[in-house]
Amino acid sequence: MRDKEMAGRGGYEPFYVMLNEYRIADLVITAHARSRYEDRSQGDGVTGKEAAFWLWQCLKQKRVKPHSPGEPEMYVVDNDLVMAARIVEMPGEADLYGNPLYKLIVVSFLGKMSENIDLRDLKSYFARQRSSRRVSLMQSGRKRR
């Protein structure tokens, strides 16, 4: 998702976007995140390629923020859409000053906080998800004697 060369004097737009202290130079959306985005977050039939372009624009406009200090891999887009993402250093890549560049890998889109209020407190949300899975597994599984 690097930006293109600017017309005119041979200048370039910055090829990275700052997210916290990281210089994000590339964006990857996994297949799972793409399907979750199409199903739950927008719901208007947006393809994964358009989702990547939209998210890159959000990064450039500083509309992506960390969810909370206790959850370093959770981010909020437009104060509503919660996504899980990993930031990985790109080997052999550096900016003009020698600072390392990073890749943002979007693992999943959890949903919108406006539609699911549980997403505001992720710790209790994940605890509830785990307990509901355990209960359904116990109900459907056989007990051995």
Of 139, 143, 120, which is closest to residue 131 (Cα–Cα)? 139
Q: Could you report the per-residue pLDDT of 5-44, keeping only the tens digit for each? A: 444 444 555 588 998 889 999 999 998 888 888 876 555 6
Is the separation of the CB atoms in 67 and 82 below 8 Å?
Answer: yes
Architecture category of domain 17-114 in CATH: 2-Layer Sandwich (3.30)
User: The pTM is what?
Assistant: 0.71
Residue 93 makes CB contacts below 8 A (sequence gap 6+) with: 25, 100, 101
- Interatomic CA distance for residues 57 and 93, integer angstroms: 22
Is the separation of the CB atoms in 83 and 110 below 8 Å?
Answer: yes
Of 15-19, 71-75, 138-142, where does mean pLDDT reach its minimum? 138-142
* Domain residue extents for the chain: 17-114
